[in-house]
Structure 1
Amino acid sequence: MTSGPYAGLVAAHGLSAAHRIVLDHIPDGARVLDVGCATGYLAAELSRRGCTVDGIELDAVAAEQARAHCRAVTVGDLEAPETRAEVQRMLAGAGVGGPDFIICADVLEHLRDPSTALAWLRTLLAPGGRAVISVPNIAHWTGRRALLRGRFDYTDFGLFDRTHLRFFTRASAAELARRAGFAVRAERLAGAPLPLESRVPALARVRDRCVRRYPELLALQFVLVLAVDQPGP
């Protein structure tokens, strides 16, 4: 729900690996709600593929930029009742039902109560809809190294982003989805460059294999595709 330095990072370096994975799971022509849409960098990619995108963004300046790529954007705090009411009015104004997909990319870790927020977003989905979320892995080796050194130094972005209110592991990310009433239909792993990888390109292939084998240690972010969990008989 915060654009912060992330829009600047995307402008300078392009979409992240997790962003690309999220986009891979959205089919052309889908109706999408992009939560924490920032300046609309995901919406821009989706609109080029024929998707109709609505956004929610806390930062009014970023939201104004996102309007170039979105059908409509609600400005406000996702956890505030008045913002949720405005989102519902925005979606009702489209006159085509709820979104097919809800994206929460680099968002849930910034919320006070991500489980409740995700549960509310679930109620907006069209029948058969999906949510695609990405969360950082605090158990990534760089996070473990910092803790072994007795450090937890906040930064402007990354695992120790000073705006993160929640921290996730692979298990707690899946538990977050479960508590919000979702079932995990797919899990994808976004790695990060290893030391010396820029000098030894072959390390990238090694890294990808290692991330798959040791996701709790080497995945920088987890991307989960979620479906509404149907209660049993």
Structure 2
Amino acid sequence: MEIKKSNTIREYKYFNNELLDNIDNSFSSDFNYFSPVWNEVLKTIDIHNLLDVGCGTGNFSCNLKSKISGKLIGVDGSSYALEKAKEKGFDEVYKVEDLCTQPIPLETESVDFALCKDVFEHLLDPLYLLSEIQRVLVPGGYLLTLVPNHFPIAGRLKFLLTNNLDTFNYFPNSKAWNLPHIRFYNYENFVDFLGQANFRVVENYSGFFPKLPIFHRALRLLAKSLVRKLATSNPTQFAEGLTVLVQKE
């Protein structure tokens, strides 16, 4: 029997160029769903050097360029994505092909703020990367991080009906055996994970990404403030994106 060999291994490691372009095309100058989180962060924190780990093409931090006093630095495994990030104003970009084994190429205690959004769920050894982020942050430095929560109540209901791990259809062309998300978190174990590298939670922003089993759009709009409160108070049950600001102790 002839065994088919995959020629798409690199696509499991990074997003392919077509997907990166599709993500770019979904953004506009007046729409970035992560901006409300940044607006809250910037109310209390002055950022000097900002490191975006797993920056992709830079969509989620490039709008910070004019709001920080130092450098905007990107790390990613895709040369194509990093070129796009440079076009969007990143001061420095570094290619790291394996975030589970290769160090971030920055000096110890050289940045005061890091973003790591939608990265840890892709890694075999997420604690290695978390430890590297802790290393390059100054004492008292901040990490803003987000991982998806596949199984709030709404996700569990979908899983019950579909038996599909990709409960919110992030990767419609993937199957269970090649799903890019290989680590799964709820809020409590995500906080525990962050604590393994001596980070403490400063703020919980999960309320910006609520996911309730309410299917009528009008009901969601009417109950917006209540929905956000629920997702903030109990992210494991009611938030799709587990989003926290933590500080290096």
Q: Sequence identity, in percent?
A: 20
Match of 1:59 in 2: 78
Q: Which runs of 4+ in 1 moved over 6 A?
A: none
Q: Match of 1:60, as an amino acid?
A: S
Task: Report the number of matched residues.
Answer: 219
Shift of residue 121, structure 1, vs aligned partner: 1.4
Shift of residue 195, structure 1, vs aligned partner: 1.8
After the TM superposition, which residues 36-55 of structure 1 pair with which residues of structure 2 at under 5 Å, given as runs? 36-51=54-69, 52-55=71-74
User: Which residue, 200, 212, 222 being the options, matches 1:202?
Assistant: 222
**Cα RMSD, aligned residues only:** 2.9
Q: Match of 1:12, as an amino acid?
A: S
Shift of residue 28, structure 1, vs aligned partner: 4.7
Matched, 1:211 2:231: yes
Match of 1:25 in 2: 41
TM-score w.r.t. the length of structure 2 is 0.75
Match of 1:143 in 2: 155
What CA deviation, in whole Å up to 9, does each residue of 1:129-176 have, x standing for no partner?
Answer: 111111111222232112322612544449x99211101001110111
Matched, 1:188 2:205: yes
C-alpha spacing 1:49/1:114, structure 2 compared with 1 (3 Å): same
Distance in 2, Cα, partners of 1:127 & 1:209: 32
Match of 1:12 in 2: 26
TM-score w.r.t. the length of structure 1 is 0.80
Q: Match of 2:160, as an amino acid?
A: L
After the TM superposition, which residues 216-227 of structure 1 pair with which residues of structure 2 at under 5 Å, given as runs? 216-227=236-247
What is the SS of the residue equivalent to 2:201? strand
Distance in 2, Cα, partners of 1:166 & 1:6: 22
In the alignment, structure 1 segments of 5+ residues that lack a partner are none
What CA deviation, in whole Å up to 9, does each residue of 1:82-119 have, x standing for no partner?
Answer: x426x12xx58xxxx61111110111111111122101
Distance in 1, Cα, partners of 2:151 & 2:56: 26
In the alignment, structure 2 segments of 5+ residues that lack a partner are 1-12
Distance in 2, Cα, partners of 1:168 & 1:57: 22
Distance in 2, Cα, partners of 1:214 & 1:70: 35
After the TM superposition, which residues 90-105 of structure 1 pair with which residues of structure 2 at under 5 Å, given as runs? 98-105=110-117
Shift of residue 181, structure 1, vs aligned partner: 2.2
Shift of residue 211, structure 1, vs aligned partner: 2.2
Deviates more, 1:178-187 or 1:25-34: 25-34
Distance in 1, Cα, partners of 2:229 & 2:39: 22
Q: Match of 1:120, as an amino acid?
A: E
Maintained 8 Å contact 1:23/1:46: no
